[in-house]
Amino acid sequence: MTLSDVLVRRTRVSLTAENGGTEAAPEVAGSLAPLLGWSGDRADREVGGYRAEVERDRAALSSDWEGPKH
DSSP labels, the chain: --HHIIIIIIS-HHHHSTTTTTTTHHHHHHHHHHHHT--HHHHHHHHHHHHHHHHHHHHHHSTT------
Q: What is the residue extent of each domain of the chain?
A: 3-56
* Beta carbons within 10 angstroms of residue 1's beta carbon: 12
What single-letter amino acid sits at 18? E
What pTM does this model have?
A: 0.84
Rounded distance between C-alpha atoms, residue 68 and residue 38, angstroms: 33
pLDDT of the chain along its 70 residues, tens only? 999 999 999 999 999 998 999 999 999 999 999 999 999 999 999 999 999 999 998 888 776 656 667 6
